[in-house]
Structures are given as C-alpha cells and as structure tokens.
Amino acid sequence: MSPLNTHRNTIDEIDKELISLLGRRMEAVRTIGAFKGQDEHAPIHDPTREHDLFAFWTAEGEKAGLPGFFLGRLLREILSHSRRDQERHLRPSAHPEAPRFRVGYHGAVGSYAELATDKLLQPRTDGPSDKTPFETFSGALDALEGEEIDYLLLPIENTVSGSIHEVYREITNRGVFLVDEEVWPVQHCLAALPGTRVEALVAVRSDPDAFQQCQRFFRSLVGTKAESWYASAAAAASVVEGGDPTVGAICSPDAARMAGLEILTEEVSDHKDNRTRYVLLSRSAEEVDSRIPAKTSLLLTVNHHHGALAECLQAFAREGLNLSKLESRPLPQRPWEYLFYIDVEGNVQDERMRTALDAMREFTGSLRVLGCYPSRTRGEPTLALPPRRLVGETGELIAPAGESGTTGGSKAATKASVACPTPVASDQLSSLPESGRRSVVRVGEAEIGGDRFTLIAGPCAVESQSQIMKSAELVAEAGALVLRGGAFKPRSSPYSFQGLGKEGLDYLAEAGRTFGLPVVTECLRVEDVPMVAEAADMIQVGARNMQNFELLKVLGRLRQPILLKRGMSATVKELLQAAEYILAGGNHQVVLCERGIRTFETATRSTLDVSSVPVLKELTHLPVIVDPSHAAGRRELVIPLAHAAAAVGADGLIVEAHPVPSEALCDAEQALSPDDLLRLVAGLRPIVEAQGRRL
C-alpha cells in the first residue's frame, strides 16, 4: 500500500469514529428532548448551558490547535440539528412513530430547496418523505390546496435579490399557512460540459433569481445570452441533455457535480453573503410551543384612519415586540393602496401579541395571520467571541428572560385559534368594544357607518348592457352612492332567470365606471369568488348563503368589503356568527343587512325585523343596513319600510329600482321606478338629518 493510501485509511477510520460519536451524541440529545417534552418548565434553550458549551469547545479547541471559526461552525451545525430533533417532543401533534409526509418544493432534484426540505421536516418526522419537485409556484400551491401534498417549501426572499414577489402574491390569495422557515446559504458557480472554455459560451441558463444574484458576473460575459429556466439545477441537467458545448449553466456546485458538468468559475454571486429564506407551507396553522422562540407573519391592509400604518406599528412597539420585516406591495386594481407583510418576533399565542393584534384592528381593513413558526433567522454568534447569556440552544441570539417574545401567556391563550387569535377585550371580533367605537366600511368613495346615510340602489338583476346603464343613470341622479345588480341570481325556481353571469359582471362594472358609482353584486359559489372580486367593489352574500361557511371563509381572505345579508330563518346571533367567519379570516370590512325573515305572516314577502337594527347596534361595531325591497315584496311598501329603517338607526339602505319596473326579469313587483326612488330620497332626508346625519 502506498503511504498516501495508508494515511487515507487512517482518515477513514477516524471519520467512522467521528460519525459513530455523533450518533451517540444524538442519542443523548434525544433522551434530553424526551425529558424536556414532559416538563413544561424546562426551556429548550438554556443560556448558561450554551455559554458553557461554547467555552468548553473553545478551550478544548485551543489545546488541539483548532481555530475558533472552524469549531464554531461545527458546533452551530450540531446544535441546530439537535434542537430540531428536540422540537419534535414539543409539538402538540407529536407522533409515536415517524409519519411519512408528502412534501413538495419548488425547483429541481438536487436543488437547495430539496436539501432545505429535509432539514425542515426533521422536527416533524424521522421517517422518509415523498418529495415532489414543482416547476411553478402556482402549480405547487394548487397541489397543496388540492391535498396532493402535505407540506410545501417555497423560497420567499434572498439576501441579494430581495423578496420573491410572485410567492408573496400567490400565498396572499390562498388558504395556506406558514409553519416553518429556513435560511440556506446559496453558492452559485458557472458550469458547462467538460472541456468547455468560458469564452466559447454563447448562452447561459439559470433561474431568474439566480441571474439577478449574479448580475455583475453575468455582465462580464459580454455577448453571452441569458436563457431563463425554472430552476438552476434543472438548467444544469438540461445542458447535459442538450449536449451543446456552447451552453453553460449558473447553478450550485452540487447541482453541477450531480449533472456531470465541469465548474468553470466558482462563486459567481455578486455578494459573498448570499442566503435564501425558505418557508414551509401547510393547509392548516401549527402551534409553536412557548419554549421555542417564534415568529409571526401577518398580512394586512390599513384603513382610512389618519396615521393608520403608524398606529399598527406602534401597537407592537407598545408591547415590546420586535418587527423583523416590513414589506409593502401595491394592491392590484387599487392604485396607491398597499398590502403590508409584517414579520414579528413572538408567538401568536402570547398575550402581548394578542393585545397588539387587538389594538390594530381599529386601523386595518384586513388583517390575516399567515402563520406562527419557530424563528430561524436570528443572528448567530461565533465561537471566537462567545456571547454572554444571550445564546440559544442552536447558537442564535435570544432575548434575556422577561424580554423575549415567548414569555408566559400561552396557556391562558389556548382558547384562541392559531390562525386568528380572538380579541382580548371582547369575546367576538364583531362585538361592540367598550369604547363604543364603530367601524366604517369604505366601498369605493362611499362610506358605510360614518356620518352619511348610504343609499345603495339598482335592479335585482343585470339584464342587458343598456338596462344596467339606464339603471346606473337613475341611481346616480337620485343621489345613491353605490350601484347594485345581480349577475348570479339565487332563484327559488330553476326555471326563473338565473342572471347573465360573467357577462353581467362586465356590464355592471362598466356601468359603475361610467357613472362613477362603486358596485355591489352577489357571489354564490366559492369558485366564482376571484371573478366576482375582480369586477365588484363590494361582494354580497345573499340570505340563502348566509351560512355557506366555506364561502364565508374564502371571503374572509379577501381585502374587499362584504355585504352579508341575514338568512331568512337566521337569528341575530347567527348573523353575527356568520360575520365572525369573515372577520376571523382577517377581513374586517363587513356590512350587515337586515332583509326580512320568515314568519307566519303572508301579507308581505318576508317580515322586516325592524328591531334587529337597534339590537345589532347594541351588540356589534359593524355597520347595519336594511333591504326593504326583499322584505316587502311589493313596491308600495318599500318606501314606508325604508323610512322606518332610517328612523331606527340603520346606516343605509339597499333597494331595488328599475328603469321600467314592469319589464324587470326578476322581482318586478318590488322594483321602484325612477320616480319612486326620488320620492324615497325626499322622504329620507328629514329623518336622517334629525339624527345629525346627511344623505
């Protein structure tokens, strides 16, 4: 045997020992983990113990002649792995045996995303997982929502190229939750078929984010074309498949080696510290044990209150909660309005977090908790400078006791759902707070619940382009502030006119734009929500759908106002509970509508429950309007009932009006004529003014 091989054999023997020692160390870690899992007061981070460990490694390292930075990295990796293993014992859904999960990730086999997937699953299982790569973010999210996979890993931001907006946009509109995160160092190299020279390259393939992170290097390859690929590891594989020596790839060194490419230039990223933050998504939120430092991600829109954003941020400052990220994105179709993404250090179950969220409600149009998960992005100490008392189990900085985001409160908060904690001040999100403050819901330029009494008018159904145009004209002339019109009609008989559907939505939106009126229209099905939301300024939930909870949940994720009509056999309490579904989803812009209930009386289509208005005003901060048209069923009764509604303190009315009532395809008997509408308004004025409001 050559001397070289003898030495290599020695190394192999030592490595074997090292690995077996690491295995033994992990067994000890597990025993401690099981112990911690049983003792709810045992912290997963013991700062003193951490400090001692770092000191011990420093001293032993010095004796062995090993530098601090090297041992520091090693110890951090070991502790990071150990902590994830121990976390398993702190999960409420801890499995006795290792479950097998189906996990998706965006990228190609061998990518950083695939490696990160394994690390993120470690606290959840030590069994194998079925991993599926996806080429598009939306395809991957479809698979998660469609229950084809249990978890999904997506990149969300990078230290060089910033946030990945497509991912933010996609998760905004879906019923998914953030349940974990991971930060992964990214290395890029230029690779090509063996024997290729850099100068010979005509094209280079990679994913758009990688190109962005290597801009400076790529510009130095003058004359070389950039070819966009969905993932850099897939770009590397495609170079081998194509066999073209003039094509290269920017990818990780691992992906290059796996594909069989030769590395032409190492480290081509514009910045040395290039790291990607991945998030793990699931269909349901997961609780984080109070002993693990946690982070909470929020998605919100602010309302029209002066200084609303500052108020929201101050709510966290007052509770001593630290924001680790604030990002804003323009709201499509709402120029100069923004969606805010906020990451806060702290557990959503923590009392202070709940107080802050509660305080913010007054200033937000919508507020959704995207998830609460173990925080893995805090600064990491180095072995050379062991930080005092501030080092966590994995070496990340944690706040001193009493200042961390995870102290106490979590047991008291078990009643709260993880997705959206219930407010501290009152038992329901819809409840009128002690301050008596009432919500104002904005629909386009109109406000419901403010100083003005808001009239919404229009035909029962959109029947044609010219009919809705004429309707919009008469509605605008009468001084109504919002145009109504159904495109999807819930008809008691399947043979009645069902509405024009998508075509009707387009006509309605066009009529609204022409006369400067925001529009409200009904959505019947979950599947139609995106289409209706695009055309309407406000979405109506009809009486028949008041308890369509799946629909209410989806509407809770929107940032658009909702008009929720009372079911015809629903109690006031049930109406408020239905509203609670939308509010709990994070959409605070709900207007309630009394539209008559079923009683033994047959003289009217329904019985207008006038008393529900003052009753609701006692119970909720949400605006309340009245629909006298569907309650009455007859034109002659609409005006007196409308006046009664104003007199008992409704915030507005929704009435049916038609340019030629006798020709209406739907609810003709109750449609007001243009003249009727003017009479209605004239009679309303003194009633509304007597209450100090204006029309």
Tell me which residues touch Mn ion (CB under 5 A): 460, 667
User: The tokens 């230290």 sit on which residue?
Assistant: 159
Q: Which is nearer to ligand PEP, 221 or 480 (CB)?
A: 480
What count of other Cβ atoms lies within 10 Å of the Cβ of residue 411? 9
**Rounded Cα–Cα distance for residues 621 and 448 (Å):** 12
**Both structure tokens of 2:** 């050559």
* Chain residues 505-524 in contact with ligand PEP, contact rule CB under 6 A: 522
The entry of Mn ion, ligand PEP, none near residue 89 (CB within 5 to 8 angstroms by kind) is: none
Residue type, 604: T
Residue 192 near residue 282, CB atoms below 8 Å: no
Cα separation values, 178 from 7, 478, 513, Å: 49, 48, 38
Binding part of the chain for ligand PEP, among 248-256, 322-330, 512-520, 536-544 by CB under 6 A, reads 536-544
What, of Mn ion, ligand PEP, none, does residue 595 touch, CB below 5 to 8 Å by kind?
Answer: ligand PEP
658 binds ligand PEP (CB under 6 A): no
Smaller CB distance to ligand PEP: residue 252 or 521?
521
Residue closer to ligand PEP, measured from CB, 155 or 628: 628
Query: Which of 542, 556, 586, 623 is the binder for ligand PEP (CB under 6 A)?
Result: 542
Pick the closer one to Mn ion by CB: 53 or 472.
472
* Contact present, 646 and 453 (Cβ < 8 Å): yes
Distance, in Å, from the CA atom of 686 to the CA atom of 691, rounded to the nearest integer, reads 9
Q: Does 628 bind ligand PEP (CB under 6 A)?
A: no
Q: Which two tokens stand for residue 390?
A: 């501030």
Q: What is the nearest approach in angstroms of ligand PEP to the Cβ of residue 420?
A: 27
229 within 8 A of 235, measured Cβ to Cβ: yes
Residues 468-487 that bind ligand PEP (CB under 6 A): 486
CB of 615 to ligand PEP, least distance (A): 18
| Beta carbon of residue 547, minimum distance to ligand PEP (angstroms, whole number) | 12
- Within 525-628, strands assigned E span 538-541, 562-565, 590-594, 624-626
- Shortest Cβ distance from residue 677 to Mn ion (Å)? 15
Q: Does 490 bind ligand PEP (CB under 6 A)?
A: yes
- The least CB distance from residue 584 to ligand PEP, in Å, is 22
- Partner whose footprint covers residue 432, from ligand PEP, Mn ion, none (CB < 5 to 8 Å by kind): none
- Give the whole-angstrom CA distance, residue 83 versus residue 293: 12
How far are the Cα atoms of 101, 252, 505, 535 from residue 113, in angstroms, in the given order?
Answer: 16, 11, 42, 38
The C-alpha atoms of residue 674 and residue 660 are separated, in whole angstroms, by: 8
Q: How many residues bind ligand PEP (CB under 6 A)?
A: 11
- Work out whether 72 is an interface residue with ligand PEP (CB under 6 A): no
Stretch that binds ligand PEP, among 26-34, 198-206, 308-316, 539-547 (CB under 6 A): 539-547
Q: C-beta of 598: minimal distance to Mn ion in Å?
A: 16
Q: For ligand PEP, which is the closer residue by CB, 169 or 544?
A: 544
CA 591/CA 616 separation, integer angstroms: 11
Query: Residue 543 binds what, of ligand PEP, Mn ion, none (CB under 5 to 8 Å, by partner type)?
Result: ligand PEP
> How is residue 38 written in tokens?
């049983």
For ligand PEP, give the closer residue by CB, 543 or 641: 543
Please check whether residue 277 is in contact with residue 157, taking contact to mean a CB–CB distance below 8 angstroms: yes
* Contact by Cβ (8 Å): 217, 265: yes
- Contact with ligand PEP (CB under 6 A) among 106, 368, 559, 595: 595
Residue among 189 and 462 whose Cβ is closer to Mn ion? 462
Quick one: which of 131, 354, 565, 588 contacts ligand PEP (CB under 6 A)?
565
Q: Kindly tell me which of 33 and 542 has the beta carbon lying closer to ligand PEP.
A: 542
Which two tokens mark 372?
């609460």
Burial class of 185 by CB neighbour count within 10 A (0 to 12, 13 to 18, 19+): exposed
Minimum distance of ligand PEP from residue 676's CB (angstroms)? 17
**Which 374-413 positions form the footprint of ligand PEP (CB under 6 A)?**
none
Nearest residue to ligand PEP, using CB?
A: 542
User: N- to C-terminal Cα distance for the chain?
Assistant: 99
Q: Which residues pair with 329 in a beta bridge?
A: 339
Q: For the CB of residue 658, give the shortest distance to ligand PEP in the complex, in Å.
A: 12
Pick the closer one to ligand PEP by CB: 163 or 577. Answer: 577
How far apart, in Å, are the Cα atoms of 452 and each of 112, 337, 386? 56, 23, 63
In sequence order, which residues have a C-beta less than 8 Å from that of residue 141 and are 6 or more positions away? 152, 170, 171, 174, 176, 281
259 part of the interface to ligand PEP, by CB under 6 A: no
In the complex, minimum distance from the CB of residue 461 to ligand PEP, in angstroms, rounded to a whole number = 7
Whole-number Å distance between alpha carbons of 292 and 81: 14
| Site residues (vs ligand PEP, CB under 6 A) | 460, 486, 490, 522, 542-544, 565, 595, 627, 630
